[in-house]
Structure 1
Amino acid sequence: MNRSDKIKFEFQDYLDSNFNPSVYLITKHIGITNSYVNEWLKGKRHMGDNALDKIEKFLDERMVK
């Protein structure tokens, strides 16, 4: 599993575990275009390292430790 797939799985798990919060609000908060993330989630687009870093940081901040 590559980095993009791993982060996509973790992000989808976060959405499912938190009653499907608005992806739009999450993307606005982290500074990524909503359509970019939605296309990535559907497998229609590859995401670059900078965007993956932002999503990974968002997930890390919300992980229960």
Structure 2
Amino acid sequence: MKKFSYLFIALFSLSLLTTSCREEKSTGDQIEEAVDDTGDAIEDAAEDTGEAMEDAADDAEDAVE
């Protein structure tokens, strides 16, 4: 009986270790996340473009002087 109890405890422990507790995302959540990531990327690109334009304007001013 003691061996049976140890076997049961070992199998139960193994099942706990192999069971995934990762949360599954629904399709709607995945789409929303992709849209948010795309919006962030567009904002970053717009900021980089604005900074590049300001740098180019500064360089043009320095060249004139």
TM-score bracket relative to the smaller structure:
under 0.3
**TM-score normalised per structure 1:** 0.28
**TM-score normalised per structure 2:** 0.28
Name whichever structure is richer in helix by fraction.
2
